[in-house]
Amino acid sequence: MVSPKLAGFKGLDGLTATGNSKQPYKIDSFDYLVEVISHIIYIAGPQHAAVNYAQYPLMSFAPSVTGCLYQAPPGKDTTLNTADDVLAWCPPLDIALYTLTFEYLLSGVQYDVFGKYNEDPRIAYFKDENVAEAVADFQCELASIEIEIHKRNKIRAMPYTFQLPSMMPNSTSI
């Protein structure tokens, strides 16, 4: 993870130098190992879901998220008299449709559910039986989080569903 020849990640301050050129660093703290793995899981699952699956619902109205202007930006003396004056900055229809389709496709692919590791819950995904209790606890926590988000969404003007555990994959799936 820290090798400049490979990933070269910065900020992994919990690694210990070994003096061995073939394996220059090691993780010798269980707490740090948990922290690193938790961070990787979060980035690949929940954080990716928050960014990826929000694209279509939040960015599908082309005039509000064009990505670029299609004529010179307005100045302080610019007057906008008609809708066409505003639409001139928007993408042409073919580009807007392409963007909309792309956002729809990116936002719609999900192969699994966060915290669920097998389509058949009667078949253990992990072979180590010590993992079963940790997975069960994790799934209970996710169920509690889901209930809390549903409660909060009842009082929000617009429900935020992108962090519902049941709406997130285990990792990026694009």
Q: Which long-range contacts (CB under 8 A, 24 or more apart) does 20-25 make?
A: 25/1
The total of other beta-carbon atoms located within 10 Å of residue 50's CB is: 13
CA distance 128 to 132: 8
pLDDT in tens, 1-11: 767 676 777 77
Assigned domain for 122 exists: yes
pLDDT score at 71: 86
Cβ-contact 89, 69 below 8 angstroms: yes
pLDDT score at 157: 94
Assigned domain for 128 exists: yes
For the whole model, what pTM was predicted? 0.71
pLDDT score at 53: 86
pLDDT in tens, 128-153: 888 888 888 999 999 999 999 999 99
Assigned domain for 2 exists: no
pLDDT score at 24: 82
Assigned domain for 109 exists: yes
Instruction: Return the half-sphere exposure (C-beta side, CA atoms, 13 A cut-off) of residue 20.
Output: 6
Structure tokens at 59: 């960015």
Amino acid in the structure at residue 153: N
* Domain hosting residue 67, numbered range: 53-167
Local confidence pLDDT in tens for the 174 residues of the chain:
767 676 777 778 888 888 888 888 888 899 999 999 999 899 988 999 888 888 888 888 877 777 788 888 888 998 888 888 888 888 888 988 888 888 888 887 777 889 888 877 677 788 888 888 888 899 999 999 999 999 999 999 989 888 999 988 888 866
Written as one string, the DSSP assignment of 4-56 is TTTT--S--TT-EE-S-SSS-EE---HHHHHHHHHHHHHIIIIIHHHHHTTHH
Assigned domain for 112 exists: yes
Assigned domain for 96 exists: yes
pLDDT score at 151: 97
Question: How many structural domains comprise the chain?
Answer: 1
